[in-house]
Each structure stands twice: as C-alpha cells, then as structure tokens.
Chains A and B, each alone.
Chain A
Amino acid sequence: MRRRVLPGFGISLGYALAYLGLIVLLPLAALAWKASGIGVEGLLRLLSSPRTLAALRLSVVGAVVAALVNAVIGLLVGWVLVRYRFPGRRLFDALVDLPFALPTAVAGIALTTLYAPNGWLGQWLEPLGIKVAYTPLGVFVAMVFVGFPFVVRTLQPVLASLERDVEEAAESLGAQRWQTFFRVILPMLAPALLTGFALALARAVGEYGSVIFIAGNIPMRSEIAPLLIVQKLEQFDYAGAAALGVAMLAISFALLVLVSLLQRWSHRWQERSL
C-alpha cells in the first residue's frame, strides 16, 4: 500500500546500492583479491613474523585497554554532565566532542608536544620516571583521546532517561548510595556502556593519524599495525599490505562480534536485576 503512494523506491535504492557498490564494496573486493594472492602460507608467514605480531598486539591490546579506560572516565564525565548543575556545564559538554572534530594529525602533533620531555605535561611526568612520548604509553594516550567521546555520547541519553523513582525505591528500602549505583544504576547503563566501549574500541584499533606522531614508531616496541601497512605500500609490497589490511578487518570484526555477545549477556543481567 505504502509502496504505491510514495514515489522513488527504485531510484533511491538503485542509486544507494550503486554508490555503495562502487565506493565501498568494489574496493573491498579488490583488497580481498589482492590479499589472496599471497596464499595461505604467505599469509601465515607474514602474520607470524615477530614485527607484525608485535604491531598487531600493540594495536589490539592498546585499543582494548584504552576503551576500558574510556568506559570508566566516560561514565564519570557523562554522569557529571547529566546529573549535576555547575557553571560552564554547556561549554564542557560541547568540549567532549573535540576529538571527533579535531583532525587526527593536529591531535597527534599537539599530544606529542604536550607529552614530550620538555612539554607542559611531559616535564612533570619525566621526574616521576613516566615517559609518554615515543613509547607504547604514548600510543595508549592517543587512543584514549580519539575514543573518548563515544562512551559519553552513548551514555548521556540513557542517563537522562533513567527513572529516578527506581533509585529512590532502592534507597527507601535501605540501600546505600554505592549499593544503588552498582546494583540498580549500573545494570541499566550496561548496554549503552558496552556500545560506547565497542565504538571506542573500533576507532582505536585502526587509528593512525593521532598515534604515529607520539608513538615514535620504534620497531617491535611502539609500532602500530596501520603503520606497517603504510610501510609495505612504500616498499611496493601490495600483497603484503593487502594481507595485513584483511587481518586488521578480521580483528575489528571479531572484536565487534565479541562485544555484541557481551551486550546480549548484559541484557540478561539487566533483566535479572530489575
């Protein structure tokens, strides 16, 4: 019925499919095709080289830890921005999106300057024995920076719509504030928290621009996986670059599947605790 009243089904779907096919699917097919050129044996040899493994590990472990940290800090910042009133709240709320809006190369050189041994923050960390710039810690800092807005932005609408009477009920039944938080509020936030975590993770795993400046790119130590792809391309090793690209896509996909499983589990947790 609706199909007959509203026009443009064929043209809008046809255009969207053609555009998506040309811009996204055809190029990804080229990636898969080129990667298959090096064969299973070649792929295994490439992926088992210590340098590749070290880079993949840094990208994945760094991104997971950064996303976890973002989940905690994002919960704090989201909570404060939604629940409390204080001067400048709107301004700070707008500031949360800065990592989305600031080009990654700009963030990269700014973070490097800030955390370099003579930088504003680096000069205070250096005497404590904490080196950030040109170390894996720097990679982690950049990954936290780019992923920060995701958790805050996914939590805010959920926090705003939380029913206060559930909390009040818990408290009138004698629950402590921290009990209310961990037993009542946190289960209600869990699905959104996991969504934010997944988005921050997906962003950080593949992050390039903000990381390469602060990383120092020391082989086996502070080299990220996307940088290896760039290096392979510079050596005209197209098949190797493609294989690494496919490996990175597979890792992102596996992580996202894992998070969606966690999400299903958290929904059950939520239902049980309500």
Chain B
Amino acid sequence: MSAVMRSRTVAWPRRLVHVVLIALALVFLVLFLLLPLATVFVEAFRQGVAPYLEAIKQPEALSAIKLTLLVAVIAVPLNLVFGVAAAWAITRFEFPGKALLGAFIDLPFSVSPVVSGLVYVLLFGAQGWFGPWLDDHGIKIIFAVPGLVLATIFVTLPFVARELIPLMQAQGSEEEEAARVLGASGWQMFFRVTLPNIRWALLYGVLLCNARAMGEFGAVSVVSGHIRGLTTTMPLEVEMRYNEYEYVGAFAIASLLALLALLTLALKSLLEWRYGDEIAAHAPGGH
C-alpha cells in the first residue's frame, strides 16, 4: 500500500516534467524549423499556381537549374573518388602525418563560405596568381562555370571522406586481407569486398555532399559574377530575384531547393533506419 502510494507521488510530477519538456522541444522545433519551411511554399504559391509555374518556366530559371545540376554532376563524383582514396589510405595504412591529413580534410568545414570563394579569386582572378596567364590564353575560370565548380568542390570536399573514415576504421581490414590471400587482384578486392561493405555509408555521404553542392551560396556567390543565364546557380537566382522584389519568383525557385532538401532528409532517414548498422559510427557535424 505505502509502496504504491510512494511510486504514485514520485511518478506524477515526473510525468508532468516529461510532458512539459516534450512540449517545449516540439514548440521550438515547429516555430523555429517547420515555420520557415512552410513560409517557402506559402510565399511561392501566394498568387496561385499559374504565376508559380510561370516563374519556374522562365529561361533564366531553367538555365539556373541546368547549371546547378551541371556543377553537382562534376563536383560530387570528384569528391566521391577523393573520399574513397583518402579513407583507404588513412584507415588501411600507417604513415607519418596521418592526423594532419585528417585535419586538412576537415578544414573546409571551418572556413567561411565567402573565404572558400575568395581563395579562388585570388588564385585565378584578374589580379590573382594565374590571372594574367589565363587571360593571355583566353581561359576564364572566375566569373565562369569552372570557378563555380571549384568553389563547390572546396566546400563539399569533406562529406564523403568523413562518412567513410570512421566506418572503415571500425570495420577493419580482415576481409580485404583474406580476399588478397585467396588470390583476388587489387580491383577485385575493392569491387567485391570493400565497396559492398561501405556502399550505404558512401551513398549517405554522397547524399549530403550533393545537397550542399546544389545549395551552396556564399562560395559560389563570390566567384560567380552573377551573370544571368550564364553563371547563376539556383541559390544565386533566388538571391537576385529576391533583391529585385520578385518575391514569387524567388520563392518559386526556393521551393524547388526546399523540395530537394526534403527529399534529402527523407532518403537520409530511410538510410539511417534501414542500414543504420552499416552506416554506423558516423561522426556528427559539418553536414
């Protein structure tokens, strides 16, 4: 009797605390995260469906979409190959300076996006190291597509490597060594043992890398020159329209980017839920 009484008096204020904490957290998530997301779609459709579609079908919008896809299609695979190579070297071999290499891989995450663009202007811009030489040979990097690609590669460089390194470290190399001992060639070992072991973590890294590549703003803004139809990616087109008070147009493009973000989140959650163990030890941060 007294035990029941006691457990009740303890349980009920504690349950109240739970409810209050849950409510506080949810109110914050709704006001702070869900409302901005909802704003994007409400503003995009403020004047109805027809102006929305009109805004997306404009030639500048279409060229911005194409450019965004082009930049991502170049930047993401390059960082994928780099991520696999770096993770292989770091997790399978011992060499001096390994910790330093890891720190350098993470470096782009602690550099302001504006500085990430700036460094390429200083390298390839008119007054940059290679500027005069490039000018003589008629090659344009800054205020052109190559600059956008380079700045995007810089900003998204760590994503794949950061997913793979902790996982491959945890997995160890016994299976790969066994494959080699049994006579597999290097590439056979890679495609039949390594790749199947890391595929979901690789996909996870690519997903995050792609989301950032398509959404990057600060770095590409510095190298773009904002030439309509030529060097404006979708986020830059959003900015230009917004600054010209074309709100429906700006939010229409923004809504496409928001859909991409939602798709990314959905796939990410699916991967975590379905293959959580195989993505495993992924270190948080920087996404």
Beta-carbon contacts of A238-267 to B below 8 Å, as 1s and 0s? 100110010011001100100000000000
* Contact partners of A2 in chain B: CB under 8 A: 92-93, 173, 177
Contact status B93-A13, CB under 8 Å = yes
Contact status B154-A24, CB under 8 Å = yes
Beta-carbon contacts of B23-60 to A below 8 Å, as 1s and 0s? 01110110111111101100100000000000000000
Beta-carbon contacts of B1-37 to A below 8 Å, as 1s and 0s? 0000000000000100110011011101101111111
* Contact partners of A19 in chain B: CB under 8 A: 78, 82, 85
Interface residues in A, total, Cβ within 8 A: 95
B235 at the A/B interface (Cβ < 8 Å)?
A: yes
Rounded to whole angstroms, the CA-CA distance of A199 and B118 in the bound complex is 22
A28 at the A/B interface (Cβ < 8 Å)?
A: yes
Closest to A21 in B: B104
Contact status B86-A12, CB under 8 Å = yes
A269 at the A/B interface (Cβ < 8 Å)?
A: no
Contact status B22-A86, CB under 8 Å = yes
Contact status B35-A5, CB under 8 Å = no
Contact status B217-A105, CB under 8 Å = yes
Number of interchain pairs (Cβ within 8 Å): 290
For A100, give its contact among B115, B269, B287 (CB under 8 Å): B287
Which of A42-50, A72-80, A129-137 forms part of the interface with chain B?
A72-80
* Contact partners of A90 in chain B: CB under 8 A: 269, 273
* Contact partners of A86 in chain B: CB under 8 A: 22
Asked, given contacts A24-B108, A86-B22, A121-B31, whether A103 binds B287 with beta carbons under 8 Å apart, the answer is no
Contact status A12-B287, CB under 8 Å = no
Rounded to whole angstroms, the CA-CA distance of A13 and B129 in the bound complex is 27
Q: How many whole Å from B36's CB to the nearest CB in chain A? A: 4
Contact status A229-B115, CB under 8 Å = yes
* Contact partners of B109 in chain A: CB under 8 A: 202-203
A140 at the A/B interface (Cβ < 8 Å)?
A: no
Rounded to whole angstroms, the CA-CA distance of A7 and B239 in the bound complex is 48
Measured CB to CB, the residues of A under 8 A from B are 2-3, 5-9, 11-13, 15-17, 19-20, 23-28, 30-31, 33-34, 73, 76-77, 79-81, 84, 86, 90, 92-107, 109-111, 113-114, 119-121, 144-145, 148-150, 153-154, 156-157, 177, 195-196, 199, 202-203, 205-209, 213, 225-227, 229-230, 233, 236, 238, 241-242, 245, 248-249, 252-253, 256
